Structure 1
């Protein structure tokens, strides 16, 4: 049986949970889910199965599974019941916190005085830290933060609330730029609106063309 279930993945199980209908073709998936539930039950019995090795060894000796299959079954059970990615820190935190809850319950039942109560309170505090309850929740990013920015191009600065410059002053400033040729000054004046704008310049009107 284990060999038939060897290649079942969590993706198949998630898909079955969302869309599957019990039937002969899904019997292996359902059986595998029962095995994961069995492993989870073993994990909760920390008095008998205190570690991963204890559970894997039990599956190998009692159920006659290979180490590969027993380890895979344990790992996927942890992932399925405690998180939704490969065994992550979040999943392990929940595993250990759940085990600690059982220890706390036992300790509460065994309390005899205020000293014991203080120790239990400390255990509960540590359990909260394990679940990261002492850390603030991550803030959601504002909607649209990563959207493509809106860009507006205009030759008229007044359309975006910027006062329009005096074109004669701009032209006079350009004329004072002694390092520029007349062709270069004309280009600047056209872009500043002092001269009529031309989208396509003749070769003799474009200083960049002459440089080539």
Structure 2
């Protein structure tokens, strides 16, 4: 039985690439490339990888990295807009940057800030930087995030995008064992249509979606 797409649930998936560690399949409907479920890491092994991350608000280089999402998004926000940083990781930093700019923030991370109560509130914007490539069920989870946005609210995502099968073979992004979903511009365009959102691509690894 062919594995269904974790973004759109289509059964129309096909082999895309195989390396020594994993298989990768591509969805014919939404263009997501993904690792089959049986080749994902167990939760403890996944967290062990994240525990090695050394991100911090005191790291100027990390702030510059996050500014690729922060700058185009903050320019679109009303003063005092309230946000959620989803998948904040062990060293929340983007939330600090938005708070410094006058935007109250909540954070959520299944391993490091697992208060699901914050997922029941409504926000003017939600961010997920270097997160969607880790999601096991991105279709369901991104739909749930979109539902927590106020009308006109923004969903800001940051992830490297798939370009071509040839480039995928030598792509550093697939070497991380916690990366299991790989989006293309076509995938995000499909998602925007599914969620009835407007989509913008301000940078090669940034996508902004606005709730109508």
- TM-score between the two structures when normalised by the length of structure 1: 0.20
Higher relative contact order (CA closer than 8 Å, sequence separation 6+): 2
**Structure with greater helix share of residues:** 1
Larger radius of gyration: 1
**Structure with greater strand share of residues:** 2
- TM-score between the two structures when normalised by the length of structure 2: 0.20
